[in-house]
Structure 1
Amino acid sequence: MTTFVDRVELHVAAGNGGHGCASVHREKFKPLGGPDGGNGGRGGDVTLVVDQAVTTLLEYHHSPHRKATNGQPGAGDNRSGKDGQDLVLYVPDGTVVLDKQGNVLADLVGQGTTFVAGQGGRGGLGNAALSSARRKAPGFALLGEPGEARDIVLELKTVADVALVGYPSAGKSSLISVLSAAKPKIADYPFTTLVPNLGVVTAGSTVYTIADVPGLIPGASQGRGLGLEFLRHVERCSVLVHVLDTATLESDRDPVTDLDIIEEELRQYGGLEERPRIVVLNKVDIPDGQDLAEMIRPDLEQRGYQVFEVSAVARLGLKELSFALAGIVAEARASKPKEEATRIVIRPKAVDDAGFTVTYDEAEDVYRVRGEKPERWVRQTDFNNDEAVGYLADRLNRLGVEDRLMKAGARAGDGVAIGAEENAVVFDWEPSMMAGAEMLGRRGEDHRLEAPRPAAQRRRDRDAERADPDREFDEFNPF
């Protein structure tokens, strides 16, 4: 049964915003007391929070689909809908958040660090909030925005000061068990350790963490054995400790070759070149192990390694090793730049930044409008209500979309698409159309709205108009 998971794919969905309400106040002797529709509630966010009590991603391995609650719709009598409840997901310290393409979205280190994985949708405005001097009694309300939904990948990278690396059965688990209070599984066969073990060591006034990384073998950086699954757990360490077995029973192995192979795997994995290294010659309590340690120690020291001869079973040389590691960790901590106080950075919008772009899509024969505001307004519009569509046209007009379309070369009857290609709203553009409440007919209607023509029909009408500009088109009454 799986007990440790350090990589999961998580499907998160924030809550949808509640719809606004279109309502008119009615009471005795006052049948039309004005609009009183309330606003919809905000959808709940999905937030990742670091909790040091959590040590694995196992919970999300079993239930990878997480969704926050939706906001409630508004109601009459100016009653706003209830906001959706935020969903908080607790993750281990050292969790990295990536998108499906492998791009890092957040690196969550430190208790309480948060990341909003899914933003809840805004609630729609009710007709009470939409009323104005020109539109005293709106017959429509804005829709709530859908919550953000996406797939993310969570990877756990152990936050440890010291990482023990080496071949299987080199004695790493035994070493961490005597240096700290950790109780890893220990046996006399390879690949006993299947998950990283973490222990806390106290050496004088320095307290540091030490991680036992499961056994590495040749080809680990390319996915052979368990190495690729757990090499990420050495990325955050301050010092690498090579644990070499000086009493191995395998005739084709020796400690120096083991060191070279592990170093090559670390080099291919990348990003660990500047980390200080220490070599631990383990199992020197065995006579053959002591003799081999004395034989290879000069060669290792000549390479620049600091070498310690220890025995986890006999508890030899452990004090010297723990204090040496404490010194390196303390030096690494002192060399790190101090965290500066959080500063508020104000980035004013450029004077000529309209907040949207207009480009011509030749394949679809439409002018495509992209921007946060236009696309959000489209999502909030109820296209079954003509008056709501007219209100959208007014907003786009005030934003300057019509002027930008004219500058881009759009002509009457050309197709205009607002939004991304997969979910865009397409309509026929009429640059001379009027905007405002004076165009409204009966309640809930707007005479500017007509069904958009297909792209092929737009091309035929445009070509015919250019060939005969004086020709009148009875069927041409675009939006």
Structure 2
Amino acid sequence: MTTFVDRVELHVAAGNGGHGCASVHREKFKPLGGPDGGNGGRGGDVTLVVDQSVTTLLEYHHSPHRKATNGQPGAGDNRSGKEGQDLVLTVPDGTVVLDKQGNVLADLVGEGTTFVAGQGGRGGLGNAALASARRKAPGFALLGEPGESRDIVLELKTVADVALVGYPSAGKSSLISVLSAAKPKIADYPFTTLVPNLGVVTAGSTVYTIADVPGLIPGASQGRGLGLEFLRHVERCSVLVHVLDTATLESDRDPVSDLDIIEEELRQYGGLEDRPRIVVLNKIDIPDGQDLADMIRPDLEARGYQVYEASAVARTGLKELSFALAGIVAEARAAKPKEEATRIVITPKAVDDAGFTVTYDEAEDVYRVRGDKPERWVRQTDFNNDEAVGYLADRLNRLGVEDRLMKAGARAGDGVAIGTEDNAVVFDWEPTMMAGAEMLGRRGEDHRLEAPRPAAQRRRDRDAQRDDAQREYDEFDPF
């Protein structure tokens, strides 16, 4: 059973941020020495890192759930919580990261390339950090944010310069074994190779990598055989080499038709039309193989292919083939645009960009507020503490949410939701509500707050207010 895995679904969860601490310094003869609650620690990130020593995604196939550690909560005496430890996951060179919808999130090529798959949550501020001239002794602290949690797909695309393609048992593995130091399994039955083999070839001053793509048969691009599973491994290659068996024992096959079938599968897979092709007529050490090679070579050259004859057993034609491939690889490398020095692009913030939006959701009969800051502040708020909720109201008012609600047509008693439809905080809006610490009552209380009314109740109250206003207008008689 093969242990090569090149596609896995990974469930990552970053660490949650630690909660801030609400504490008051106390000592002899100084019972209320001021707030001294420490901040919570940041949650650990989940990071993917390319490691050249890793060649397969097998580890994540067996253990697909990965989670970083949480940050620790703050404590009194201004002691901050310990930060969560980052979780580093090593992946092979050439790993592509996708979301569940198939969108590419990152293409990890090159030793040490990193991608943060899950961002750790921020730690909550303690009441010492929340103290101000108006709020000298906050009776609350901010909660730590939850860490990012999502499902991603990892796909391995072999990073090789040359890809050998062809029918099973065409001799691809044999060629790699004599062109490089790779030692793939070789046998005289189809589908001997179940995983892509990778080897390093040195031809003069050029060093390049060569890989074979196993299991290409008619219908491979639609999932037959092993081809669809491994066709992605040819996407990064600079040149494709068709290995044709000139000594096949199957009476219904011939090298030219094999070439046409493989080309059709590559065409249906797509994205490989611009890659140069080379044809290798393999197994010419067999008398019938040499005769067939001499017969079909003119036809292949007439199609525009560079044709080479080779034998892995007799070690003939290998030097010419390796140097020809080295030349094509060198040209492909020279044609690639040079990487420019990293430039820092500063994009100024738009003058009218408030960092949030206010829209009316007719289905839910609420005004929905969306934005990074408002949603983050909601996640950090302890709704069991009225003073903490009042602090949230102060922040939203300073951000300009109330002004935007007025411009959007919101009236007293209308519902306001902050966040997405499935995870939002809903409350009844009171535009006359003033922000500030002077509105607070006892510690931990804020008399501005009331339980939100259901949408149906808000509609009934609004209709009743409209009916009362209409009745007063109808009954009004200035004479």
1:469 CA drift (Å): 3.3
Structure 1's 22 and 329: CA in aligned 2 closer, same or farther, altered over 3 A? same
Q: Which runs of 5+ in 1 are unaligned?
A: none
> 1:144 touches 1:380 (CA, 8 Å); kept in 2?
yes
Structure 1's 477 and 166: CA in aligned 2 closer, same or farther, altered over 3 A? farther
**What is the TM-score when the length of structure 1 is the normalising length?**
0.98
> 1:185 touches 1:193 (CA, 8 Å); kept in 2?
yes
Structure 1's 186 and 328: CA in aligned 2 closer, same or farther, altered over 3 A? same
Question: C-alpha distance in 1, partners of 2:99/2:474?
Answer: 51
Root-mean-square deviation over aligned CA pairs: 3.6
Structure 1's 473 and 232: CA in aligned 2 closer, same or farther, altered over 3 A? farther
Deviations 1:177-231 (A, max 9, x none): 0000111010000000000000000001110000011020011011111000000
Question: C-alpha distance in 1, partners of 2:388/2:310?
Answer: 78
> 2:2 touches 2:195 (CA, 8 Å); kept in 1?
no
Structure 1's 475 and 33: CA in aligned 2 closer, same or farther, altered over 3 A? farther
1:466 CA drift (Å): 1.2
Residue 366 of structure 2: aligned partner = 366
1:341 CA drift (Å): 1.6
Structure 1's 135 and 323: CA in aligned 2 closer, same or farther, altered over 3 A? same
> 1:15 touches 1:121 (CA, 8 Å); kept in 2?
yes
Question: C-alpha distance in 1, partners of 2:176/2:322?
Answer: 11
**What is the TM-score when the length of structure 2 is the normalising length?**
0.98
Structure 1's 166 and 185: CA in aligned 2 closer, same or farther, altered over 3 A? same
Deviations 1:30-89 (A, max 9, x none): 000000000000000000000001000011011010000000000000000010000000
Structure 1's 477 and 129: CA in aligned 2 closer, same or farther, altered over 3 A? farther
Residue 314 of structure 2: aligned partner = 314
Secondary structure at the counterpart of residue 288 of structure 1: helix
Deviations 1:255-304 (A, max 9, x none): 00000010010011111000000000001111111111011100100110
More moved, 337-346 vs 217-226: 337-346
1:472 CA drift (Å): 13
> 2:194 touches 2:214 (CA, 8 Å); kept in 1?
yes
> 1:360 touches 1:368 (CA, 8 Å); kept in 2?
yes
Structure 1's 476 and 319: CA in aligned 2 closer, same or farther, altered over 3 A? farther
Secondary structure at the counterpart of residue 473 of structure 1: helix
Residue 196 of structure 1: aligned partner = 196
Deviations 1:316-364 (A, max 9, x none): 1000000000000011111111111222221221111000001111111
> 1:450 touches 1:477 (CA, 8 Å); kept in 2?
no
Question: C-alpha distance in 1, partners of 2:304/2:12?
Answer: 49
Question: C-alpha distance in 2, partners of 1:20/1:469?
Answer: 48
Question: C-alpha distance in 2, partners of 1:147/1:131?
Answer: 26
> 2:2 touches 2:194 (CA, 8 Å); kept in 1?
no
Percent identity for Structure 1 against Structure 2? 95
Structure 1's 89 and 472: CA in aligned 2 closer, same or farther, altered over 3 A? farther
Secondary structure at the counterpart of residue 187 of structure 2: coil
Deviations 1:377-401 (A, max 9, x none): 0000000000000000000000000
> 1:14 touches 1:43 (CA, 8 Å); kept in 2?
yes
Question: C-alpha distance in 2, partners of 1:458/1:11?
Answer: 41
> 1:450 touches 1:478 (CA, 8 Å); kept in 2?
no
Secondary structure at the counterpart of residue 396 of structure 1: helix
> 2:428 touches 2:453 (CA, 8 Å); kept in 1?
yes
1:473 CA drift (Å): 18
> 2:165 touches 2:212 (CA, 8 Å); kept in 1?
yes
Q: Which aligned segments of 4 or more residues in structure 1 are displaced greater than 2 angstroms?
A: 469-479
Deviations 1:394-431 (A, max 9, x none): 00000000111111111111100000000100000011
1:2 CA drift (Å): 4.0
Structure 1's 473 and 290: CA in aligned 2 closer, same or farther, altered over 3 A? farther
Structure 1's 140 and 478: CA in aligned 2 closer, same or farther, altered over 3 A? farther
More moved, 461-470 vs 290-299: 461-470
Question: C-alpha distance in 1, partners of 2:349/2:143?
Answer: 28
Secondary structure at the counterpart of residue 292 of structure 1: helix
1:475 CA drift (Å): 25
Secondary structure at the counterpart of residue 240 of structure 1: strand
1:477 CA drift (Å): 32
> 2:14 touches 2:147 (CA, 8 Å); kept in 1?
yes
Structure 1's 299 and 477: CA in aligned 2 closer, same or farther, altered over 3 A? farther
> 1:387 touches 1:446 (CA, 8 Å); kept in 2?
yes
> 1:41 touches 1:81 (CA, 8 Å); kept in 2?
yes
Question: C-alpha distance in 1, partners of 2:107/2:287?
Answer: 47
Question: C-alpha distance in 2, partners of 1:470/1:68?
Answer: 61
Structure 1's 420 and 478: CA in aligned 2 closer, same or farther, altered over 3 A? farther
> 2:93 touches 2:108 (CA, 8 Å); kept in 1?
yes
Residue 432 of structure 2: aligned partner = 432
Residue 458 of structure 1: aligned partner = 458
